[in-house]
Chains A and B, each alone.
Chain A
Amino acid sequence: MASKEEKLLQFSPFSSALDTGFWHQLTQLKLDVFQLDDAPQPLTGYFFNGDASGIPSHLNLDYNAFQPNFKVPIRHFPSRGFIKNTNTLNDFKTIDKRNLLDTTGKEIWQSIVSGEALENPTLLSRFLLLTFADLKKYNFFYWFAFPALCAPEKITVKERKKINQVLTDEQVEQLLIAYDKEFLPKHVAFFLGKKTKTSFLLAPLKYFDDFYSGDDEFFLCVCDPCNLDDYPGWPLRVFLTLAAYHWSEKLGGVAKVLCLRDRFKEGVRSVDHSLVFTVDLPSISHLTESPRCIGWEKNERGKLGPRIVNLGPSMDPSRLAESAVDLNLKLMRWRLLPSLDLDLISETRCLLLGAGTLGCNVARSLMAWGVRTITFVDNGSVSYSNPVRQTLFTFEDSMNGGRPKAECAAESLRKIFPGVRTEGHVFSIPMPGHSVTDGTKDHVKRDVERLEHLIEDHDAVFLLMDTRESRWLPTLIATAKTKIVINAALGFDTFLVVRHGVRLPQRAVAMETSEKASLTQSISGHQLGCYFCNDVVAPGDSTRDRTLDQQCTVARPGLSMMTSALAVELLISLLTHPQRGQAPADIRSKDEELNVDTECPLGLVPHQIRGFLSRFNLLMPTGQAFDQCTACSNIVVEEYRKKGFEFLLNAFNEPSYLEDLTGLSEMHLSTMDEEVWGFSDDEEM
């Protein structure tokens, strides 16, 4: 493979190889130490002459690059440099790059001329790094230079051979023994070698005068990071400048260069791919000025220009939190539930009507499931008694009259997890039986419209208020808009979680009343009842006749957490069911339904969950939609669709309007009153 024709010696430049740890350290130092000081800071990088075949030569900067006493990894060789981190992008663009590189070039030249580099050959391998760190967006602009001096201007190759065409196996072994003893442990990449009659010897650069004898075959040795068969790597370039300056005359203008490549494969060492070049090395000892310096790295598109890297995904704490939350959920899917559709869950927009004990805990559980859009509606403010039960508030929120719950809850969610999209709306939900005067009419109308828009813009509505009648309007609107509704209500030691039936969109108006469920196994989702279906009175003002202690929600404290958790889990099961809102609810006896193979990967999707804490007991009743329901029956939905706010106004103002409309009044007349009223205000069926 020896080539006789003379051609220019070409070098394979370094490519830079960074790691995230380096950028982390730069960020931290910039914020804590450098701040606005943009003076160059020292850095240590390293290169390697043992890479596997095909790997381009690279200069590495890692997590430890800024450490003043950083010892480079075993079998690697140091490269000293500095980083110039500009304060602005404009500085980065306009800084005189030629001048910056020339400064390093002059330093190298000085170290060669003064002989300092003979003492400390590490000075030959230098780099510089120009950066601008946009720490708001985690964008890092950077540009490496690996300075090389253009002297001698031209170096021609007389001959190129493989190491074993020049040295015997024995000589190679002698070389390696000396190398392993003297140079490798000290991470010295440049040294001298000579082949005598009996052996192969190595020496440090500073002993050239004693070591060199005209009789022996003499070698300039470099640990070569390049893997190419025909070319040496970048470190040789400055080494040849040094050799041309100090030794060219003695060497007679010709030098042999041993590019040592030292690779282990499966624990077996090989230096067979090392190269020996014979080159013309004209003297440059007459030079008084520093030669020109080149070496800016090309970017990934082969252009002479900077590179940019965005490290937001691995450095921005908010994005880290987001991906960690997602990963946690993905683990659940990978390990236990391969069919779980996490995207569907995270994209479900949830509207929480009520930001009290239920609202706070529902929001927390939704976040834990990766739900990213959570909107609160509440007209109350945080009071002193709230923070101990309402888990998104603190004492401070209750001071000075208390902050609005809806806004405070949203802010709290963002503090817990910045990835959540959340807002709080402060207004009250108009209720039947709470009459609307001419003075308040416009205001109520606005609130109704607000609620209509919010329900329209969300996929699931949670009813988490503390009165029964405030649930009526959202039940009606959500039924008309075929949205999922999860309703949760608390007694003292009892609770109810119910998913409202979701009408089939095309039949939302004309639900066929003749279509009765086959009452053997299940009721399909569009035939399920709502919160009001089991009541035979219309909602009215339930707070009017209450004493103070009855107006406060007095419940066993743990009840809200259980209820909120069940409400969210019911939504997730429903979303995971292939029929979603129309998922049927089982009506078989309890033992049977526990054994049935469910369509939903999470298991059963009950219609209602009723809990009795005094007995630590849960029931899962299923109820069909009632065709005279005051909130979800066709006649009510139809009237609302036709007459809109005028219809609502009647419902708000006239206590018997809804009962008359649905025919409940008639039914009341034909029934023994005391039987009906007997369980009218009780939320248990």
Chain B
Amino acid sequence: MAEGLLLSEDEFHQGIYELKELSDRIGDLWVLASEKSSKFLSKRVIQYLPLCPEQTDDSPRDEIAVLEKEESLETLSDLEITATETSERILCSCEYHIIFSSSYGVPVLYFNFYKQDGSLLKLNDVWSTIPDAFNDRLIEEKWTFITQQEHPIRHKPFFHLHPCHTGQLMKASSSLSTSNTPLEYIIRWMSSIAPVVHLNVPMKYAHFLPDGTPG
């Protein structure tokens, strides 16, 4: 690959196959997805995100209230136990896709955070979930820029980290090691950007890098 900065599509495929194998070995949840003749890595995790739940929306709650009164169904009653939530966090389904961008020659992270009812978190909310520790970095390093974009395969709105600085980022993080396989490339890339979007990358991946550091 050119100066270790860019990937070809074949190298990307090799990288994600190998990453998927590693993922299985260490209990990570990446899945190889194949849609409309494109291959990509996909992962879905349910987790709490630091965000105050908001109650306001424009859906007709009255309709529901009527139904609640009318229904006389048996409850789950005595055999039921429910979990409690706090007010500073919200339970979300977090969906992550690693997709190849042929125009930039780099992997791109697309992601969505859904509330339990399937509605999408707004961009501002996504921004506000970003850990404080990354805010300075976000401002200084444009590569971490999160924006909303049409998913290149599903053609639905997804958030993504813009790929325009990935090449530079990879140049900086790979300068220490001499060789850089596609798998190492993807692990380094993933571990650099993952914390910003609440994507957990187990440290164990680093064991598969030559210098043992995730970049």
Contacts and interface: CB of A to CB of B under 8 A. Distances in A.
B27 A56 contact: no
Given A73-B29, A305-B68, A310-B58, A231 B63 contact: no
Contacts of A89: 63
Interface in A65-102: 73-75, 89, 93, 97-98
Interface in B144-203: 145, 147-148, 154, 156-157, 202-203
A350 B48 CA distance: 45
A8 interface: yes
A12 B57 contact: no
Contact of A264 (B48, B147, B202): B202
Nearest to A48: B46
A511 interface: no
Nearest to B95: A19
B119 A314 contact: yes
A335 B59 CA distance: 35
Contacts of B117: 18, 142, 300, 307-309
Interface in A138-181: 139-142, 148
A216 to B, nearest CB: 30
Contacts of B203: 266-267
Contacts of B65: 305
B133 interface: no
Interface in B67-101: 67-68, 70-71, 73-83, 91, 93, 95
A51 B200 CA distance: 13
A311 B118 contact: yes
Nearest to A134: B60
B104 interface: no
Contact of A62 (B30, B44, B60): B44
Contacts of B26: 264, 267
Given A10-B81, A55-B46, A60-B46, A20 B156 contact: yes
A304 interface: yes
A426 interface: no
A558 interface: no
A208 interface: no
A12 B204 contact: no
B67 A305 contact: yes
Given A11-B79, A55-B91, A294-B76, A264 B114 contact: no
B31 to A, nearest CB: 5
Chain B: number of interface residues, binned into ranges: 35 or more
A95 B172 CA distance: 61
Contacts of A323: 123, 148
Nearest to B70: A93
A456 B9 CA distance: 59
A96 B59 CA distance: 24
A55 B91 CA distance: 8
Contacts of A140: 118
Main secondary structure of the interface of A (DSSP, over half): mixed
Contacts of A9: 79
A21 B112 CA distance: 10
A15 interface: yes
Contacts of B114: 17-20
Nearest to A312: B58
Nearest to A71: B31
A24 B156 CA distance: 9
B147 A54 contact: no
A22 B71 CA distance: 27
B47 A55 contact: yes
B40 interface: no
A162 B67 CA distance: 42
Contacts of A327: 123, 147-148
Contact of A13 (B30, B68, B80): B80
Contact of A12 (B64, B81, B145): B81
Contacts of B148: 323-324, 327
Contacts of B64: 141, 299, 305-308
A17 B120 contact: no
Nearest to A263: B27
A577 interface: no
B76 A303 contact: no
B116 interface: yes
B11 interface: no
Contacts of B78: 8, 10
Given A60-B46, A324-B148, A267 B27 contact: yes
A254 B31 CA distance: 40
Contacts of B74: 292, 294
Residue of B46, B76, B112, B147 with highest tally of chain A CB at under 10 A: B76
Interface in A201-259: 228, 230-231, 237
Given A50-B27, A73-B29, A228-B83, A19 B93 contact: yes
A364 interface: no
B205 interface: yes
Contacts of B43: 73
B24 to A, nearest CB: 6
A140 B147 CA distance: 26
B112 A303 contact: no
A665 B211 CA distance: 90
A430 to B, nearest CB: 45
Contacts of A295: 76
B36 interface: no
A140 B63 CA distance: 12
Nearest to A94: B70
A141 B112 contact: no
Contacts of A334: 145
B202 A267 contact: yes
A237 to B, nearest CB: 7
A331 B147 contact: yes
B63 to A, nearest CB: 7
Interface in B11-33: 24, 26-31
A74 B59 contact: no
B142 interface: yes
A266 B118 contact: no
B122 interface: yes
A268 B26 CA distance: 7
Nearest to B69: A305
A353 to B, nearest CB: 37
Interface string A627-649: 00000000000000000000000
A139 B64 CA distance: 12
A52 interface: yes
Interface in B41-55: 43-44, 46-48
Interface in A37-62: 48, 50-52, 54-56, 58, 60, 62
Contact of B59 (A18, A98, A310): A310
A395 to B, nearest CB: 31
B83 A16 contact: no
A304 B75 contact: yes
Nearest to A268: B204
A266 B28 CA distance: 9
Given A19-B112, A310-B58, A324-B148, A98 B27 contact: no
B31 A73 contact: yes
Contacts of B68: 299, 303-305
Nearest to A97: B73
A308 B81 contact: no
Contacts of B66: 93
B185 to A, nearest CB: 20
Task: Report the 5 A-B pairs with minimum CB-CB distance, sorted nearest first.
Answer: A267-B204, A264-B27, A18-B118, A305-B68, A267-B202
21 contacts: A8-B79, A13-B76, A16-B116, A19-B93, A19-B118, A20-B119, A21-B156, A50-B27, A54-B48, A58-B46, A58-B116, A62-B93, A93-B70, A98-B73, A139-B60, A231-B81, A266-B202, A298-B76, A309-B59, A314-B156, A314-B157
